[in-house]
A and B are shown apart, each in its own frame.
Chain A
Amino acid sequence: MSNPTHLQYTAEHEWVALDGETARVGVTAYAADALGDIVYVDLPAVGDTVTAGQTCGELESTKSVSDLYSPVTGEVVEVNKDVDSDPSLVNSDPFGEGWLFVVKVTATTDLLDAAAYDALLEA
Protein backbone atom coordinates (compact mmCIF):
# COMPACT_ATOMS: atom_id res chain seq x y z
CA MET A 1 0.00 0.00 0.00
CA SER A 2 1.48 3.36 -0.91
CA ASN A 3 0.20 6.54 0.65
CA PRO A 4 0.04 9.91 -1.12
CA THR A 5 3.36 11.73 -0.73
CA HIS A 6 1.80 15.21 -0.51
CA LEU A 7 0.13 14.35 2.80
CA GLN A 8 1.42 13.99 6.32
CA TYR A 9 0.38 11.25 8.72
CA THR A 10 0.02 10.19 12.34
CA ALA A 11 0.65 6.85 13.98
CA GLU A 12 -3.11 6.78 14.67
CA HIS A 13 -3.68 6.59 10.89
CA GLU A 14 -4.96 10.08 10.23
CA TRP A 15 -3.74 12.08 7.30
CA VAL A 16 -3.28 15.86 7.20
CA ALA A 17 -3.14 18.14 4.17
CA LEU A 18 -1.57 21.40 5.33
CA ASP A 19 -2.38 24.43 3.23
CA GLY A 20 -1.13 27.62 4.79
CA GLU A 21 -2.81 27.85 8.17
CA THR A 22 -5.57 25.32 7.51
CA ALA A 23 -5.35 21.56 7.64
CA ARG A 24 -7.72 19.12 6.01
CA VAL A 25 -7.94 15.86 7.97
CA GLY A 26 -9.01 12.33 7.13
CA VAL A 27 -8.14 8.74 7.94
CA THR A 28 -5.85 6.64 5.78
CA ALA A 29 -6.82 3.81 3.47
CA TYR A 30 -5.13 1.48 5.93
CA ALA A 31 -7.42 2.67 8.75
CA ALA A 32 -10.52 2.50 6.58
CA ASP A 33 -9.65 -1.02 5.49
CA ALA A 34 -8.92 -2.17 9.04
CA LEU A 35 -12.23 -0.80 10.31
CA GLY A 36 -14.32 -2.47 7.64
CA ASP A 37 -17.44 -0.87 6.23
CA ILE A 38 -17.89 2.46 8.00
CA VAL A 39 -21.56 3.17 8.67
CA TYR A 40 -21.47 6.19 10.96
CA VAL A 41 -19.05 9.05 11.44
CA ASP A 42 -19.30 11.34 14.46
CA LEU A 43 -17.37 14.52 13.59
CA PRO A 44 -16.56 17.63 15.61
CA ALA A 45 -18.78 20.62 14.90
CA VAL A 46 -17.73 23.80 13.14
CA GLY A 47 -16.42 26.14 15.84
CA ASP A 48 -15.19 23.34 18.10
CA THR A 49 -11.62 23.47 19.28
CA VAL A 50 -9.73 20.25 18.69
CA THR A 51 -6.43 19.33 20.30
CA ALA A 52 -3.63 17.36 18.66
CA GLY A 53 -3.57 13.80 19.94
CA GLN A 54 -6.99 14.06 21.59
CA THR A 55 -10.17 12.33 20.52
CA CYS A 56 -12.59 14.50 18.59
CA GLY A 57 -15.06 12.00 17.18
CA GLU A 58 -15.82 8.40 16.31
CA LEU A 59 -15.82 6.10 13.32
CA GLU A 60 -18.29 3.26 13.57
CA SER A 61 -18.16 0.17 11.36
CA THR A 62 -20.40 -2.87 11.43
CA LYS A 63 -17.80 -4.52 13.61
CA SER A 64 -16.58 -1.87 16.00
CA VAL A 65 -16.26 1.74 17.10
CA SER A 66 -12.96 3.59 16.90
CA ASP A 67 -12.00 6.94 18.30
CA LEU A 68 -11.05 9.65 15.85
CA TYR A 69 -8.01 11.65 16.98
CA SER A 70 -7.19 15.12 15.81
CA PRO A 71 -3.68 15.37 14.39
CA VAL A 72 -3.60 19.14 14.89
CA THR A 73 -4.74 21.79 17.37
CA GLY A 74 -7.09 24.57 16.35
CA GLU A 75 -10.63 25.55 15.49
CA VAL A 76 -12.77 23.40 13.21
CA VAL A 77 -13.83 25.57 10.27
CA GLU A 78 -15.47 22.99 8.01
CA VAL A 79 -16.81 19.44 8.26
CA ASN A 80 -17.59 17.05 5.43
CA LYS A 81 -21.39 16.84 5.30
CA ASP A 82 -21.22 14.30 2.47
CA VAL A 83 -19.49 11.85 4.79
CA ASP A 84 -22.17 12.41 7.41
CA SER A 85 -24.86 11.31 4.96
CA ASP A 86 -22.74 8.67 3.21
CA PRO A 87 -20.07 7.30 5.57
CA SER A 88 -19.00 4.73 2.95
CA LEU A 89 -17.06 7.56 1.25
CA VAL A 90 -14.39 6.98 3.90
CA ASN A 91 -13.93 3.44 2.58
CA SER A 92 -14.25 4.21 -1.11
CA ASP A 93 -12.10 7.36 -1.23
CA PRO A 94 -10.33 7.94 2.10
CA PHE A 95 -7.82 10.47 0.73
CA GLY A 96 -10.39 12.32 -1.39
CA GLU A 97 -14.18 12.49 -1.05
CA GLY A 98 -13.89 10.78 2.33
CA TRP A 99 -12.06 13.68 4.04
CA LEU A 100 -13.46 14.50 7.48
CA PHE A 101 -12.85 18.06 8.69
CA VAL A 102 -10.75 21.21 8.24
CA VAL A 103 -8.98 22.96 11.10
CA LYS A 104 -7.56 26.47 11.38
CA VAL A 105 -4.29 25.31 12.88
CA THR A 106 -2.63 26.82 15.91
CA ALA A 107 -0.28 23.90 16.64
CA THR A 108 0.68 20.50 15.29
CA THR A 109 2.34 17.44 16.74
CA ASP A 110 5.15 15.60 15.02
CA LEU A 111 3.69 14.38 11.78
CA LEU A 112 5.10 11.60 9.61
CA ASP A 113 5.88 11.92 5.93
CA ALA A 114 4.57 9.25 3.58
CA ALA A 115 7.80 7.24 3.66
CA ALA A 116 7.82 7.16 7.45
CA TYR A 117 4.13 6.19 7.54
CA ASP A 118 4.67 3.45 4.94
CA ALA A 119 7.52 2.15 7.10
CA LEU A 120 5.26 2.19 10.15
CA LEU A 121 2.65 0.08 8.33
CA GLU A 122 5.28 -2.42 7.24
CA ALA A 123 6.83 -2.74 10.70
Chain B
Amino acid sequence: MSSRTTPLHEVHAGLGASFTDFAGWQMPVRYSSELAEHRAVRTTAGLFDLTHMGEIELTGPGAGAALDHALVGRPSAIGVGRARYSMICAEDGGIIDDLVVYRLADEHYLVVANASNVAVVAPEIAARAEGYDVTVRDTSADWALLAVQGPASAAIIAALTELDVPSLKYYAIDAGTVAAADGAVEVLLARTGYTGEDGFEVYCRPADAPAVWAALAQAGEAHGLVPAGLACRDTLRLEAGMPLYGHELSRDTTPYEANLGRVVVLDKPGGFVGQDALAKRKEEGPARVLVGLVSTGRRSPRAGYPVVDPATGAEVGEVTSGAPSPTLEKPIAMAYVPPHLAVPGTRVAVSLRGTLEDADVFELPFYSRAR
Protein backbone atom coordinates (compact mmCIF):
# COMPACT_ATOMS: atom_id res chain seq x y z
CA MET B 1 0.00 0.00 0.00
CA SER B 2 1.47 3.32 -1.00
CA SER B 3 1.39 5.75 1.87
CA ARG B 4 -0.48 9.04 1.70
CA THR B 5 1.10 12.40 2.28
CA THR B 6 -0.40 15.40 4.02
CA PRO B 7 -0.68 18.86 2.43
CA LEU B 8 2.31 19.82 4.61
CA HIS B 9 4.63 17.15 3.21
CA GLU B 10 6.80 19.61 1.26
CA VAL B 11 7.03 21.83 4.34
CA HIS B 12 8.24 18.90 6.46
CA ALA B 13 10.75 17.82 3.82
CA GLY B 14 12.05 21.38 3.64
CA LEU B 15 12.54 21.34 7.41
CA GLY B 16 14.64 18.18 7.12
CA ALA B 17 12.10 15.83 8.68
CA SER B 18 12.66 12.09 8.90
CA PHE B 19 9.49 10.35 7.83
CA THR B 20 7.80 7.17 9.00
CA ASP B 21 4.85 5.25 7.69
CA PHE B 22 2.07 5.60 10.22
CA ALA B 23 -1.35 4.08 9.56
CA GLY B 24 -0.83 4.43 5.82
CA TRP B 25 0.44 8.00 6.03
CA GLN B 26 3.94 9.29 5.53
CA MET B 27 4.34 11.39 8.67
CA PRO B 28 7.27 13.33 10.15
CA VAL B 29 8.78 11.28 12.97
CA ARG B 30 11.31 13.97 13.96
CA TYR B 31 12.90 17.07 12.49
CA SER B 32 16.18 17.12 14.38
CA SER B 33 16.15 15.58 17.85
CA GLU B 34 13.03 14.08 19.39
CA LEU B 35 14.40 14.87 22.85
CA ALA B 36 14.75 18.55 21.97
CA GLU B 37 11.25 18.53 20.47
CA HIS B 38 9.87 16.85 23.60
CA ARG B 39 11.52 19.45 25.84
CA ALA B 40 10.28 22.30 23.65
CA VAL B 41 6.69 21.12 24.13
CA ARG B 42 7.21 20.92 27.90
CA THR B 43 8.89 24.34 28.16
CA THR B 44 7.85 26.49 25.16
CA ALA B 45 5.83 25.01 22.30
CA GLY B 46 5.81 22.42 19.54
CA LEU B 47 3.99 22.48 16.20
CA PHE B 48 2.56 19.17 14.98
CA ASP B 49 0.95 18.03 11.74
CA LEU B 50 -1.90 15.66 12.69
CA THR B 51 -3.66 15.58 9.35
CA HIS B 52 -3.64 11.78 9.46
CA MET B 53 -6.34 11.82 12.14
CA GLY B 54 -9.83 10.91 10.88
CA GLU B 55 -12.87 13.18 11.02
CA ILE B 56 -16.47 12.00 10.97
CA GLU B 57 -19.29 14.54 10.95
CA LEU B 58 -22.89 13.98 12.01
CA THR B 59 -25.55 16.48 11.08
CA GLY B 60 -29.29 16.48 11.65
CA PRO B 61 -31.82 16.56 14.47
CA GLY B 62 -31.00 12.95 15.45
CA ALA B 63 -27.22 13.45 15.65
CA GLY B 64 -26.99 13.52 19.44
CA ALA B 65 -29.27 10.53 19.92
CA ALA B 66 -27.43 8.56 17.25
CA LEU B 67 -24.08 9.18 18.97
CA ASP B 68 -25.56 8.30 22.37
CA HIS B 69 -26.48 4.92 20.85
CA ALA B 70 -23.18 4.46 19.02
CA LEU B 71 -20.69 5.52 21.71
CA VAL B 72 -20.20 4.69 25.38
CA GLY B 73 -20.60 8.31 26.50
CA ARG B 74 -23.48 10.73 26.19
CA PRO B 75 -22.64 13.22 23.41
CA SER B 76 -26.19 14.64 23.48
CA ALA B 77 -25.26 16.17 26.86
CA ILE B 78 -22.19 17.96 25.49
CA GLY B 79 -22.72 21.70 25.34
CA VAL B 80 -22.35 23.44 21.98
CA GLY B 81 -18.72 24.47 21.62
CA ARG B 82 -17.44 21.80 23.99
CA ALA B 83 -15.62 18.49 23.54
CA ARG B 84 -15.56 15.14 25.31
CA TYR B 85 -13.21 12.16 25.25
CA SER B 86 -15.19 9.02 24.39
CA MET B 87 -14.99 5.54 22.92
CA ILE B 88 -16.83 3.30 20.51
CA CYS B 89 -17.11 -0.28 21.72
CA ALA B 90 -18.23 -3.53 20.14
CA GLU B 91 -21.21 -5.55 21.43
CA ASP B 92 -18.77 -7.50 23.63
CA GLY B 93 -17.45 -4.29 25.20
CA GLY B 94 -14.11 -4.37 23.35
CA ILE B 95 -12.81 -0.96 22.33
CA ILE B 96 -13.08 -0.24 18.58
CA ASP B 97 -11.50 3.20 18.98
CA ASP B 98 -11.06 6.09 21.35
CA LEU B 99 -12.42 9.38 20.09
CA VAL B 100 -12.78 13.05 20.78
CA VAL B 101 -16.33 14.29 20.15
CA TYR B 102 -16.84 17.99 19.48
CA ARG B 103 -20.28 19.54 19.40
CA LEU B 104 -20.01 22.30 16.79
CA ALA B 105 -23.73 23.22 16.79
CA ASP B 106 -27.01 21.85 18.15
CA GLU B 107 -27.26 19.39 15.28
CA HIS B 108 -23.63 19.15 14.17
CA TYR B 109 -20.95 16.94 15.76
CA LEU B 110 -17.34 16.37 14.74
CA VAL B 111 -15.93 13.01 15.84
CA VAL B 112 -12.14 12.62 15.63
CA ALA B 113 -10.89 9.06 15.24
CA ASN B 114 -7.43 7.53 15.08
CA ALA B 115 -5.96 7.37 11.58
CA SER B 116 -5.64 3.60 11.83
CA ASN B 117 -9.30 3.19 12.73
CA VAL B 118 -11.31 5.75 10.81
CA ALA B 119 -12.08 3.33 7.96
CA VAL B 120 -13.72 1.06 10.55
CA VAL B 121 -15.24 3.70 12.80
CA ALA B 122 -16.97 5.80 10.12
CA PRO B 123 -19.05 2.96 8.64
CA GLU B 124 -19.71 1.56 12.12
CA ILE B 125 -21.14 4.87 13.33
CA ALA B 126 -23.15 5.14 10.10
CA ALA B 127 -24.60 1.65 10.63
CA ARG B 128 -25.46 2.42 14.25
CA ALA B 129 -27.11 5.70 13.16
CA GLU B 130 -29.62 3.95 10.92
CA GLY B 131 -33.15 4.87 11.94
CA TYR B 132 -32.04 8.21 13.40
CA ASP B 133 -32.65 11.48 11.57
CA VAL B 134 -28.97 12.13 10.89
CA THR B 135 -26.40 12.19 8.10
CA VAL B 136 -23.03 10.58 8.86
CA ARG B 137 -20.07 11.45 6.64
CA ASP B 138 -16.38 10.59 6.75
CA THR B 139 -14.97 14.07 6.09
CA SER B 140 -11.33 13.20 6.79
CA ALA B 141 -10.28 14.39 3.34
CA ASP B 142 -11.83 17.81 4.01
CA TRP B 143 -9.66 18.58 7.02
CA ALA B 144 -6.05 19.26 7.79
CA LEU B 145 -5.14 19.31 11.48
CA LEU B 146 -2.30 21.18 13.11
CA ALA B 147 -1.54 21.27 16.82
CA VAL B 148 0.35 23.83 18.87
CA GLN B 149 1.18 22.33 22.24
CA GLY B 150 3.08 23.75 25.18
CA PRO B 151 3.00 26.55 27.73
CA ALA B 152 3.54 29.23 25.08
CA SER B 153 0.77 27.95 22.82
CA ALA B 154 -1.94 30.34 24.03
CA ALA B 155 0.25 33.38 23.45
CA ILE B 156 1.19 32.14 19.97
CA ILE B 157 -2.41 31.46 18.91
CA ALA B 158 -3.76 34.65 20.48
CA ALA B 159 -1.50 36.73 18.25
CA LEU B 160 -3.11 35.26 15.13
CA THR B 161 -6.85 35.11 15.77
CA GLU B 162 -9.77 37.33 16.70
CA LEU B 163 -11.08 34.55 18.94
CA ASP B 164 -10.86 35.15 22.69
CA VAL B 165 -8.11 32.61 23.35
CA PRO B 166 -7.71 33.17 27.10
CA SER B 167 -11.43 32.50 27.59
CA LEU B 168 -11.44 29.33 25.49
CA LYS B 169 -11.79 26.56 28.05
CA TYR B 170 -9.93 23.24 28.05
CA TYR B 171 -11.89 20.86 25.81
CA ALA B 172 -13.74 23.68 24.04
CA ILE B 173 -13.87 24.58 20.33
CA ASP B 174 -14.78 27.70 18.37
CA ALA B 175 -14.90 28.73 14.72
CA GLY B 176 -12.85 31.73 13.67
CA THR B 177 -9.90 32.73 11.57
CA VAL B 178 -6.12 32.60 11.68
CA ALA B 179 -4.20 35.50 10.15
CA ALA B 180 -1.93 34.08 7.44
CA ALA B 181 0.34 35.85 4.96
CA ASP B 182 -2.31 35.95 2.22
CA GLY B 183 -5.20 36.85 4.53
CA ALA B 184 -7.50 35.33 7.08
CA VAL B 185 -8.00 31.56 6.94
CA GLU B 186 -11.14 29.95 8.38
CA VAL B 187 -10.38 27.44 11.11
CA LEU B 188 -11.87 25.53 13.99
CA LEU B 189 -9.79 26.21 17.08
CA ALA B 190 -9.96 23.64 19.89
CA ARG B 191 -8.16 23.71 23.22
CA THR B 192 -7.31 20.01 23.14
CA GLY B 193 -4.26 17.86 22.65
CA TYR B 194 -2.35 14.73 23.47
CA THR B 195 0.80 15.91 25.19
CA GLY B 196 -0.18 16.76 28.77
CA GLU B 197 0.38 20.45 28.07
CA ASP B 198 -1.93 23.35 27.44
CA GLY B 199 -2.40 23.39 23.72
CA PHE B 200 -4.57 23.96 20.70
CA GLU B 201 -5.66 21.96 17.71
CA VAL B 202 -6.38 23.89 14.54
CA TYR B 203 -8.67 22.35 11.92
CA CYS B 204 -8.50 23.94 8.48
CA ARG B 205 -9.03 23.11 4.82
CA PRO B 206 -6.12 21.08 3.41
CA ALA B 207 -5.33 23.79 0.84
CA ASP B 208 -4.92 26.30 3.68
CA ALA B 209 -2.65 24.10 5.80
CA PRO B 210 0.70 25.43 4.51
CA ALA B 211 -0.41 29.03 5.16
CA VAL B 212 -1.63 28.17 8.67
CA TRP B 213 1.60 26.27 9.42
CA ALA B 214 3.69 29.22 8.22
CA ALA B 215 1.67 31.68 10.32
CA LEU B 216 1.98 29.54 13.46
CA ALA B 217 5.69 28.92 12.87
CA GLN B 218 6.35 32.61 12.41
CA ALA B 219 4.26 33.70 15.40
CA GLY B 220 5.91 31.00 17.49
CA GLU B 221 9.48 31.81 16.61
CA ALA B 222 9.89 34.40 19.36
CA HIS B 223 8.40 31.94 21.88
CA GLY B 224 10.76 29.09 21.02
CA LEU B 225 8.24 27.02 19.07
CA VAL B 226 9.77 24.16 17.08
CA PRO B 227 8.25 21.70 14.62
CA ALA B 228 7.60 18.43 16.44
CA GLY B 229 7.19 14.90 15.10
CA LEU B 230 5.46 11.69 16.06
CA ALA B 231 8.42 10.37 18.09
CA CYS B 232 8.15 13.10 20.71
CA ARG B 233 4.35 12.95 20.56
CA ASP B 234 4.62 9.37 21.77
CA THR B 235 6.93 10.13 24.72
CA LEU B 236 4.82 13.18 25.64
CA ARG B 237 1.58 11.22 25.75
CA LEU B 238 3.28 8.36 27.63
CA GLU B 239 4.50 10.75 30.34
CA ALA B 240 0.98 12.17 30.50
CA GLY B 241 -0.43 8.64 30.98
CA MET B 242 -2.59 8.93 27.88
CA PRO B 243 -3.53 5.66 26.20
CA LEU B 244 -2.73 4.92 22.57
CA TYR B 245 -4.97 2.72 20.47
CA GLY B 246 -3.17 -0.48 19.50
CA HIS B 247 -1.08 -0.29 22.67
CA GLU B 248 -3.15 0.39 25.81
CA LEU B 249 -6.49 0.11 24.00
CA SER B 250 -7.71 -2.67 21.71
CA ARG B 251 -10.65 -4.87 20.79
CA ASP B 252 -9.56 -7.18 23.64
CA THR B 253 -9.78 -4.40 26.21
CA THR B 254 -12.77 -2.68 27.77
CA PRO B 255 -12.65 0.85 29.19
CA TYR B 256 -12.58 -0.60 32.72
CA GLU B 257 -9.21 -2.33 32.37
CA ALA B 258 -7.77 0.89 30.99
CA ASN B 259 -8.95 2.86 34.05
CA LEU B 260 -11.30 4.74 31.76
CA GLY B 261 -14.58 3.44 33.14
CA ARG B 262 -15.55 7.05 33.82
CA VAL B 263 -16.19 7.58 30.09
CA VAL B 264 -18.90 4.88 30.09
CA VAL B 265 -22.41 6.15 30.87
CA LEU B 266 -24.24 2.92 31.66
CA ASP B 267 -27.54 4.51 32.66
CA LYS B 268 -28.21 6.73 29.66
CA PRO B 269 -31.74 6.48 28.27
CA GLY B 270 -32.22 4.29 25.22
CA GLY B 271 -29.20 2.05 25.67
CA PHE B 272 -26.10 1.76 23.52
CA VAL B 273 -24.03 -0.79 21.67
CA GLY B 274 -21.96 -2.77 24.17
CA GLN B 275 -24.05 -1.74 27.18
CA ASP B 276 -24.82 -5.22 28.50
CA ALA B 277 -21.25 -6.46 28.21
CA LEU B 278 -19.86 -3.31 29.83
CA ALA B 279 -22.36 -3.42 32.70
CA LYS B 280 -21.32 -7.02 33.36
CA ARG B 281 -17.62 -6.14 33.16
CA LYS B 282 -18.06 -3.27 35.59
CA GLU B 283 -19.81 -5.54 38.08
CA GLU B 284 -17.18 -8.29 37.82
CA GLY B 285 -14.27 -5.90 38.07
CA PRO B 286 -11.32 -6.10 35.73
CA ALA B 287 -8.95 -9.09 35.81
CA ARG B 288 -6.06 -6.83 34.86
CA VAL B 289 -5.57 -3.10 35.11
CA LEU B 290 -3.41 -0.52 33.43
CA VAL B 291 -0.62 0.86 35.62
CA GLY B 292 2.47 2.96 35.26
CA LEU B 293 5.92 1.45 35.78
CA VAL B 294 9.15 3.22 36.62
CA SER B 295 12.17 1.06 35.94
CA THR B 296 14.97 0.97 38.49
CA GLY B 297 17.56 0.27 35.78
CA ARG B 298 18.61 2.16 32.69
CA ARG B 299 16.96 -0.02 30.05
CA SER B 300 13.39 0.70 29.06
CA PRO B 301 10.55 -1.77 29.21
CA ARG B 302 9.03 -1.81 25.73
CA ALA B 303 5.64 -2.77 24.29
CA GLY B 304 5.09 -6.51 24.46
CA TYR B 305 7.64 -7.29 27.17
CA PRO B 306 6.31 -9.64 29.90
CA VAL B 307 5.66 -8.39 33.42
CA VAL B 308 6.71 -10.98 35.98
CA ASP B 309 5.37 -11.42 39.52
CA PRO B 310 8.56 -11.40 41.59
CA ALA B 311 6.93 -13.59 44.25
CA THR B 312 6.21 -16.47 41.89
CA GLY B 313 8.37 -15.83 38.82
CA ALA B 314 5.26 -16.21 36.66
CA GLU B 315 4.50 -13.97 33.70
CA VAL B 316 1.40 -12.10 34.80
CA GLY B 317 1.16 -9.07 32.57
CA GLU B 318 2.47 -7.20 29.60
CA VAL B 319 4.01 -3.83 28.87
CA THR B 320 1.90 -1.80 26.42
CA SER B 321 4.20 1.21 25.88
CA GLY B 322 7.60 2.13 27.26
CA ALA B 323 10.37 4.62 26.66
CA PRO B 324 13.05 6.58 28.45
CA SER B 325 11.21 9.58 29.90
CA PRO B 326 12.92 12.84 28.92
CA THR B 327 11.21 14.65 31.82
CA LEU B 328 11.73 12.05 34.59
CA GLU B 329 15.07 10.95 33.10
CA LYS B 330 14.16 7.35 33.90
CA PRO B 331 12.64 4.56 31.84
CA ILE B 332 8.85 4.57 32.16
CA ALA B 333 6.14 2.30 30.85
CA MET B 334 2.49 1.46 30.96
CA ALA B 335 1.51 -2.16 31.51
CA TYR B 336 -1.44 -4.40 32.29
CA VAL B 337 -1.02 -6.28 35.58
CA PRO B 338 -3.34 -8.26 37.89
CA PRO B 339 -5.14 -6.10 40.49
CA HIS B 340 -3.00 -7.45 43.36
CA LEU B 341 0.10 -5.94 41.75
CA ALA B 342 -1.55 -2.66 40.77
CA VAL B 343 -1.01 -0.76 44.01
CA PRO B 344 1.44 2.14 43.57
CA GLY B 345 4.82 1.26 45.06
CA THR B 346 4.54 -2.45 44.32
CA ARG B 347 7.79 -3.93 43.03
CA VAL B 348 7.43 -6.04 39.89
CA ALA B 349 9.89 -7.37 37.35
CA VAL B 350 9.93 -6.89 33.58
CA SER B 351 11.62 -9.33 31.25
CA LEU B 352 13.85 -7.17 29.05
CA ARG B 353 14.87 -9.43 26.22
CA GLY B 354 15.42 -12.27 28.65
CA THR B 355 16.84 -10.37 31.63
CA LEU B 356 14.60 -9.60 34.57
CA GLU B 357 14.79 -6.01 35.75
CA ASP B 358 12.93 -4.38 38.61
CA ALA B 359 10.26 -1.75 38.15
CA ASP B 360 7.94 -0.02 40.59
CA VAL B 361 4.24 0.52 40.01
CA PHE B 362 3.55 4.23 39.70
CA GLU B 363 0.25 6.04 39.82
CA LEU B 364 -0.47 7.53 36.39
CA PRO B 365 0.22 10.05 35.04
CA PHE B 366 3.98 10.29 35.28
CA TYR B 367 3.80 13.97 34.47
CA SER B 368 1.16 16.64 35.18
CA ARG B 369 1.66 20.22 34.20
CA ALA B 370 1.38 22.88 36.86
CA ARG B 371 -1.91 24.71 36.35
Q: Which positions 233-247 of chain B face chain A at CB distance < 8 Å? A: 234-235
User: Could you tell me if B231 and A36 are in contact, using CB atoms closer than 8 angstroms?
Assistant: yes
Neighbour of A63 across the interface among B34, B298, B299, B326, CB < 8 A: B34
Task: List which B1-30 residues lie within 8 A (CB) of chain A.
Answer: 18, 29-30
Residues in A whose Cβ lies below 8 Å from that of B347? none
Contact A62 B298, beta carbon cutoff 8 Å: no
User: In B312-329, which residues have CB < 8 Å from any A CB?
Assistant: 323-324, 326
Chain A: interface residue count, which band?
A: 10 to 19
CA distance A62 to B233 in the complex (A): 11
Most A CB atoms within 10 A — which of B38, B232, B300?
Answer: B300
A62 touches B302 (CB 8 A): no
Q: A33: which B residues are within 8 A, CB to CB?
A: 18
A53-81 Cβ-contact flags toward B at 8 Å (1 or 0) = 00000101011110000000000000000
Task: Please give, as numbers and ranges, the residues of chain A lying within 8 Å of B323 by CB-CB distance.
Answer: 62-63
Q: Is B158 part of the contact surface with A, judged by Cβ < 8 Å?
A: no
Interface of B is mostly: mixed
CB-defined contacts of A42 to chain B, threshold 8 Å: 299
Does chain A have a CB within 8 A of B35? yes
Indicate if B346 sits at the interface (CB-CB under 8 A).
no
Q: Which residue of A lies closest to B32 (CB)?
A: A37
Instruction: Select B300's contact among A36, A37, A60, A91, beta carbons within 8 Å.
Output: A60
Residue in A34, A40, A58 whose beta carbon sits within 8 Å of that of B324 in the complex? A40
Tell me the nearest residue of chain B to A88, going by C-beta.
Answer: B35
Q: Does A7 contact B (CB under 8 A)?
A: no
- Contact between A40 and B299 (Cβ–Cβ < 8 Å)? yes
B33 an interface residue at 8 Å Cβ cutoff?
yes
In angstroms, Cα B303 to Cα A63, docked, is: 11
Known interface pairs A39-B324, A40-B324; A63-B231 also in contact (CB < 8 Å) = yes
Query: Would you give the shortest CB distance from B297 to chain A, in whole angstroms?
Result: 9
Distance (whole angstroms) from the CB of A100 to the closest CB of chain B: 16
Which of B's residues lie within 8 Å of A, judged by CB?
A: 18, 29-30, 33-35, 38, 231-232, 234-235, 298-300, 302, 323-324, 326, 353
- Chain A residues at the B interface, C-beta cutoff of 8 Å: 33-34, 36-37, 39-40, 42, 58, 60, 62-65, 91
Q: Lowest 6 A-B CB distances belong to which pairs? A: A37-B35, A39-B324, A40-B298, A37-B33, A63-B231, A62-B323
